[in-house]
Amino acid sequence: MPSSYHAIFAAPGTKGFSAAGLIGRLPLAMMGIGIVTMVSQLTGRYGLAGALSATLAMSAALLGPQISRLIDRHGQSRILRPATLVAVTSVAGLLVCAQQSAPDWTLFVFAAGAGCVPSLGAMVRARWAAIYRGSPRELHTAYAWESIVDEVCFIFGPIVSIGLSTAWFPEAGPLLAAVFLVIGVVWLTAQRATEPVPQPREQHTGGSALRSPGLRVLVATFVATGAIFGAVDVVTVAFAEERGHKAAASLVLAVYALGSCLAGVVFGLLHLTGPPARRWLVGICVMAVSMIPLQLAGNLPFLAVALFVAGLSVAPTMVTTMALVEAHVPRTKLTEGMTWTSTGLAVGVALGSSAAGWVVDAAGAEAGYGVPVAAGAAAAVVAFLGYRRLRGPVPSRGGRGTDDQEPYDGHESVA
């Protein structure tokens, strides 16, 4: 392991909570695709499968920030386990109803309940922030490491989920995802020494973390960014199917995640100076431009290369986004703020998947790659319009609420 990554794990407890976060985040990459695979195998109804997956995503987008707000106020161990119990119970109900051919409405009820799953990525990043607050270089490396973990989950999670549901029994993928969630949450919440200290109720003033103008810019941009990811997934599957190699779609998408993973490794080793807001803007624009070559892909090998190159801008942009959230959101609302970015991505993925599916049905897979191009352009426009807010004053890090401001010059104190 490179020295920069080795250094961040010198702090006691860091290896344990990062490992727990890895296991607990696998369901994020496994559950949605597992439900689609399960329902399509049991019923043959892809429309129902997609609608249930979208219901899960939208429910998580609505409930996630509310759960994180409670965690900022009451602590991770006190909130995570009850929330996870609701989510796992709902997943169990969904699996039973699907297996027993229960009415469709029961599937939607349990899919909505499964959205109570907490954002383990935000919980782990909050622990890193608590340990390395005031040490920008180490925090940059820690955020890069967690982006690498995210990509590892998205490389292997769908392959495991789809493989189990097709080779073993239809419910196997979502079932294993639920098991991973329980193990991850129980392990993480058992590590009380690294848990961020909840702030007294009277310090939680100013309402939601979304009152921060900078956070609103980040979330709005991430809606468009999520649409890129959702559209690429759907269109790539259709592209591979049109060429008679549908099974290869998972490998091509894994290459996309691999490009992001490798870029994240390198990015975490860099000692960066200059405005993080400018670096974020450049990252969003590069992501947008990287979608253009996808429209020129005439075969799967070319598409894989184009997606690998496109993936190189993903992790660095995500790492910088988390640094900006940490800078623009009061300390008492940090977990909620990080979860809002995940919410923006989830909403965007649902929108991008739907739009891409409609275009593919109407005009074919090659035309479908116009959707991520349009989403990338929208992300760049929002980023340009909101750039000044990211360079402006930010909330006090003391956690006194979003109305308590201090000057901020948009620079990281990294030598």
Provide block-wise average pLDDT over 10 residues at a time, the chain (415 residues). 76 91 88 80 75 82 84 86 94 93 91 86 87 82 84 79 82 92 94 82 57 85 90 82 77 86 83 80 94 87 93 88 82 78 81 80 84 94 88 49 33 31
**How many whole angstroms separate alpha carbon 92 and alpha carbon 380?**
41
Angle at 372 between CA 281 and CA 250, to 5 degrees: 110
Cβ neighbours for 147, distance < 8 A, ≥ 6 positions apart: 260, 264, 268, 315, 318, 319, 322
Task: Tell me, yes or no, whether 328 and 242 share the same domain.
Answer: yes
Task: Tell me, yes or no, whether 237 and 312 share the same domain.
Answer: yes
Task: Tell me, yes or no, whether 66 and 214 share the same domain.
Answer: no
**How many whole angstroms separate alpha carbon 200 and alpha carbon 178?**
32
Burial class (CB within 10 angstroms; exposed 0-12, middle 13-18, buried 19+) of 362: exposed
Task: Tell me, yes or no, whether 188 and 282 share the same domain.
Answer: no
Structure token pair of residue 270? 């860099």
Task: Tell me, yes or no, whether 277 and 407 share the same domain.
Answer: yes
**How many whole angstroms separate alpha carbon 45 and alpha carbon 259?**
33
How much is the pLDDT for 243?
A: 84
**How many whole angstroms separate alpha carbon 138 and alpha carbon 121?**
18
Task: Tell me, yes or no, whether 178 and 325 share the same domain.
Answer: no
**How many whole angstroms separate alpha carbon 159 and alpha carbon 134?**
39
Task: Tell me, yes or no, whether 188 and 289 share the same domain.
Answer: no
Q: How many domains does the chain have?
A: 2
**How many whole angstroms separate alpha carbon 376 and alpha carbon 284?**
8
Domain carrying residue 139: 1-6+13-145+153-198
Structure token pair of residue 155? 């490389």
Query: Residue 46: how many CA atoms within 13 Å on its side-chain side?
Result: 3
Task: Tell me, yes or no, whether 184 and 257 share the same domain.
Answer: no
**How many whole angstroms separate alpha carbon 301 and alpha carbon 296?**
12
Task: Tell me, yes or no, whether 34 and 158 share the same domain.
Answer: yes
Task: Tell me, yes or no, whether 159 and 226 share the same domain.
Answer: no
Task: Tell me, yes or no, whether 106 and 187 share the same domain.
Answer: yes
Structural contact between residues 27 and 158, judged by C-beta atoms closer than 8 angstroms: no
Instruction: Return the exposure string of 78-91: e unless at least 16 CB atoms fall within 10 Å of the residue's CB, then b.
Output: ebbeebbebbbebb
Task: Tell me, yes or no, whether 193 and 283 share the same domain.
Answer: no
How much is the pLDDT for 195?
A: 87
Q: What CATH number is associated with residue 207? A: 1.20.1250.20
Instruction: Single out the residue of 348, 50, 13, 53 nearest to residue 177, CA to CA.
Output: 53
Structure token pair of residue 250? 């998972």
